[in-house]
Amino acid sequence: MKADPVGVAKGSYFMDGDHACAEGAIAAGCRFFAGYPITPSTEIAERIAERFPKVGGMFIQMEDELASMAAIIGAAWTGTKTMTVTSGPGFSLMMENIGLAVMMETPCVVVDVQRGGPSTGLPTLTGQADMMQARWGSHGDYELIALSPNSSQECFDLIITAFNLAEQWRVPVLFMMDECVGHMTEKVVIPDAYEITITPRKFYRGKKKDFKPYKFNGHTKIAPMVKAGDGYFFHITGLTHDERGYPLINAEAQQTNVQHLVDKINKNVDKISIVEEDNITDADVIVVSYGISSRVALKAVEFARKNGIKVGTLRLVTVWPFPEKRIKQLASQVKAFIIPEINMGQISLEIERCAAGQAPTILVPHAGGWVHDPKDIFQAIEEAVA
Amino acid sequence: MTEVATQSKKGETKPKNEKPKAVLRDDYEHPMEIYLRIERFPHIWCATCGIGTVLTAFISGLEKSKLDIEKVTVVSGIGCTGRTAGYLRLDSFHTTHGRAIPFATGLALGNPKLKVVVISGDGDLTAIGGNHFIHAARRNLDLTIICVNNFNYAMTGGQAGPTTPMEAIASTAPYGCYEYPFNLPFLAESSGAVFVARWTALHIRRLTNTIAEALLKPGFSFIEVICPCATLYARRNRLGDGLDLMRFYHDNAIIKHGANTREVDIEYQKQIIVGKFVDIDKPTFLQQRDRFLKNKLGNQFIPYKEPVS
């Protein structure tokens, strides 16, 4: 399906990542937004507040992030595409109902414009330290999808992918920006509506009495949904449940329910995962990065290549689910992985796990507040091949 | 018994462990069957619990309101009352602790044609969910909130909560509660609710009528229902069984329509003022929003429309 032209502000702009993200969401068909102001994500909410009344969207500023997250799940069950945006402290509060969205298999998009943490940390300065929280933040076992854009243009393009993936897999999709990407102003080209592909909500079309909100018998088939108010009289719960959505409190039901939640993502990594590779084939070292760090790393890579070092790059466009298979493959052919990230080592641990001793992983950490000095990344590359 | 039956003559035996399910017999018809997920019965509530009575009153009130039940959605939080949504054959959502109101907000704004009802307990709505409660009332969202108040957290074993009266004993107030409790009607009215009422589980007819009225009232309507919890609250405080509590309501509930909500505090084992306290008219969140934006933006304003499938 193509995008609704009403929401597509075609043209070339000089725009920051936050605004581009808002425009992308509107283009993707998002028409319900609930949020709570927090730096550095507020500009997204502001842009939506201004634009929604003119495109037929519903904006509400809630009393906190707990409420924002709950509201977008409720709204999703009326058939609309929903989003909320936040940063670290608010992301922590949203964890409760991100778990509910996972359990209720509700498509929605949560944007986290990361700043330095822990706690209030660095409200106005950048960080990438919520990556593991994105993966594990809510209690219990589950899998979801997280994307990480690295430019204003990508904030626009990739948030559309986020909405599409949410619909395709009936899962909350986390959009892991960072303060730099959010506040960096660059050229953004918004194409014609007919050039934007949208995954519409898959609605159930069978007999009303046969409707079940879930399908646990195969990870390739995601059950179609219905809307509240259409006479299906369906029930859904955050409790462990059967395919009818009815609570079932026992170990077998838990096994079936959780296995399904995990399988539908884990067994489809190849269909979900997006990575961007460059000069991989004969690389001695590979710099693995995401978000703003991938832009900074380019400078170091360029310098290393000038110095005759064979460096490849791999950018995680989707961070979760993790491209485990690909990293394993590459681990057998390179001397080392270099992972610059604005945290004290999160994704690097995941690379280390996947490399499983085949290649060393070298973390270039940064506590946050600013991006890496490319020299530090270059130095790590140099040491790796020495 | 079942064991024996399984071992007896083949052909006539019932499968092992199959309990007789009276409610599923073909010839059986409960008058409220179409509103209930009978297949989920027996329900989890204790004997003489008042929540079932509230459920009955809700169904009767819903019938009385003549609303299209396809457009009525029920949301519950967590707790004994939180299970209500699961027994109603309506579009029904059992959400997270305290978040029934914001979840309901999403439903109500996502599809303004829905009548969204929140049925949950006092702890869920006014302790962990207290912030959502006051803000939904402030916004005058088109929601009907039925709050079953049994003075304690019953699902988790009878802990003290924001409505536990001073002196009352609870598992986390073993020497008696020494905190000031909420006066819920006053909280609702001062936060902006347009309709506020209180009944006990004894006042079934009046509660039913009030529920019907609240369902048809645009804006934030709030009904508190004082409910017996014989298993925990009454037992710990040696107040007798459910019937004794009903007798207590009979002797101590005073109907005072239009009472000043400031004066309807509930003290331990003292009188309970019940009735319809507030019924005013004021534009709802959506009416206010649409009128306001239309006024400011003119033809640029595109009203929100619920999606079509």
What does the pLDDT read at residue B309? 75
Residue B2, pLDDT > 90, answer no
Flag if B302 and A70 touch (Cβ within 8 Å): no
**Number of structural domains chain A divides into:** 2
What angle separates helix B130-139 from helix A65-76, to the nearest 10 degrees?
70
Q: What is the mean pLDDT of residues B147-166?
A: 97
Flag if B306 and A32 touch (Cβ within 8 Å): no
> In chain B, pLDDT over 70 holds for what percent of residues?
91
* Residue ending a domain, choose from A195, A224, A254: A195
- Give, rounded to a whole angstrom, the gap between the first and last alpha carbons of chain B: 51
Task: Based on the fold, state whether residues A170 and A36 are members of the same structural domain.
Answer: yes
What does the pLDDT read at residue A298? 97
Residue B273, pLDDT > 60, answer yes
Q: Give a yes or no: residue A201 inside a domain.
A: no
Task: Based on the fold, state whether residues A26 and A164 are members of the same structural domain.
Answer: yes
Measured in degrees and rounded to the nearest 5, phi and psi for residue A365 equal -80, 160
CATH number for B46-300 (one of 3.40.50.10490, 2.40.37.10, 3.40.50.970, 3.40.1500.10): it is: 3.40.50.970
Residue B11, pLDDT > 70, answer no
Among candidates A56, A100, A228 on the partner chain, residue whose Cβ is nearest the Cβ of B91? A228
Q: Give a yes or no: residue A233 inside a domain.
A: no
How far is A128 from A125, CA to CA, in rounded Å?
A: 11
- Residue-wise pLDDT tens digits, A299-345: 999 999 999 999 999 999 999 999 999 999 999 999 999 999 999 99
Residue B196, pLDDT > 50, answer yes
Residue A188, pLDDT > 70, answer yes
- Residue-wise pLDDT tens digits, B175-194: 999 999 999 999 999 999 99
User: Could you list the residue range(s) of the whole structural domain that residue A39 is in?
Assistant: 5-195
Question: For chain B, what is the mean pLDDT?
Answer: 92
Interface size, chain A vs chain B, as Cβ–Cβ contacts under 8 Å: 167
Task: Based on the fold, state whether residues A293 and A173 are members of the same structural domain.
Answer: no
Asked if ipTM goes beyond 0.95, one says yes
Flag if B307 and A80 touch (Cβ within 8 Å): yes
Q: What is the mean pLDDT of residues B150-158?
A: 97
Q: What is the mean pLDDT of residues A36-48?
A: 98
Flag if B107 and A78 touch (Cβ within 8 Å): yes
User: Which residues in chain A have their CB less than 8 angstroms from residue B91's CB?
Assistant: 228-229, 232-235
* Residue ending a domain, choose from A195, A222, A251: A195
- Residue-wise pLDDT tens digits, B108-119: 999 999 999 999
User: Which residues in chain A have their CB less than 8 angstroms from residue B102's CB?
Assistant: 34, 62-63, 66-68, 70-71, 74
A384 burial class (0-12, 13-18, 19+ CB within 10 angstroms)? buried
| pLDDT interval class at B1 (50, 70, 90) | very low
> In chain A, pLDDT over 70 holds for what percent of residues?
99
What does the pLDDT read at residue B20? 42
| pLDDT interval class at B7 (50, 70, 90) | very low
Q: Give a yes or no: residue A39 inside a domain.
A: yes
Flag if A238 and B94 touch (Cβ within 8 Å): yes
Flag if B105 and A71 touch (Cβ within 8 Å): yes
Task: Based on the fold, state whether residues A279 and A173 are members of the same structural domain.
Answer: no
Among candidates B37, B107, B304 on the partner chain, residue whose Cβ is nearest the Cβ of A228? B107
Q: Calculate the alpha carbon distances from A166 to A74, A139, A173, A245, B62 in Å.
A: 15, 20, 6, 20, 35
Record the tokens describing residue A339, joined without a space: 């992972």
Q: What is the mean pLDDT of residues A182-209?
A: 97
* Residue matched to tokens 């646990």: A216
CATH classification of the domain holding A313 = 3.40.50.920
Better-scored residue on pLDDT, A84 or B5: A84
Task: Based on the fold, state whether residues A177 and A312 are members of the same structural domain.
Answer: no
- For chain B, give every domain's residue range: 46-300
Q: What is the mean pLDDT of residues A16-44?
A: 98
Residue B30, pLDDT > 80, answer no
Q: Give a yes or no: residue A207 inside a domain.
A: no
Q: Calculate the alpha carbon distances from A280 to A18, A277, B48, B54, B209 in Å.
A: 31, 6, 71, 66, 73
Measured in degrees and rounded to the nearest 5, phi and psi for residue A304 equal -65, -40
Residue B22, pLDDT > 50, answer no
Q: Which residues pair with A30 in a beta bridge?
A: A81
* Residue ending a domain, choose from A195, A223, A253: A195
Task: Based on the fold, state whether residues A190 and A280 are members of the same structural domain.
Answer: no
Flag if A32 and B75 touch (Cβ within 8 Å): no
Q: What is the mean pLDDT of residues B226-251?
A: 96
Q: Which residues pair with A197 in a beta bridge?
A: A2
- Residue-wise pLDDT tens digits, A87-107: 999 999 999 999 999 999 999
Q: Give a yes or no: residue A251 inside a domain.
A: no
Determine the Cα angle at B97 with ends A223 and A95, to 5°.
Answer: 65
Among candidates B90, B106, B309 on the partner chain, residue whose Cβ is nearest the Cβ of A203? B309
CATH classification of the domain holding A169 = 3.40.50.970
Q: Give a yes or no: residue A135 inside a domain.
A: yes
- Give, rounded to a whole angstrom, the gap between the first and last alpha carbons of chain A: 52
- Residue-wise pLDDT tens digits, A221-270: 899 999 999 999 999 999 999 999 999 999 999 999 999 999 999 999 99
What does the pLDDT read at residue B21? 44
What does the pLDDT read at residue A218? 66
Instruction: Report which residue type is found at B11.
Output: G
Residue B227, pLDDT > 70, answer yes
Q: Do the beta carbons of residue A91 and residue A115 sit within 8 Å?
A: no
A209 burial class (0-12, 13-18, 19+ CB within 10 angstroms)? exposed
Among A147, A76, A64, which Cα is nearest to A318's?
A: A147
What angle separates helix B51-65 from helix B204-216, to the nearest 10 degrees?
50
What does the pLDDT read at residue B27? 55
Question: For chain A, what is the mean pLDDT?
Answer: 97
Q: Kindly report the nearest CA distance between residue A349 and chain B, in angstroms.
A: 32
Q: What is the mean pLDDT of residues B36-48?
A: 93
| pLDDT interval class at B3 (50, 70, 90) | very low
What does the pLDDT read at residue B6? 39
| pLDDT interval class at B29 (50, 70, 90) | low
Flag if B131 and A229 touch (Cβ within 8 Å): no
How far is A179 from A183, CA to CA, in rounded Å?
A: 6
Among candidates B85, B106, B308 on the partner chain, residue whose Cβ is nearest the Cβ of A74? B106
Q: Give a yes or no: residue A224 inside a domain.
A: no
Task: Based on the fold, state whether residues A32 and A149 are members of the same structural domain.
Answer: yes
| pLDDT interval class at A288 (50, 70, 90) | very high
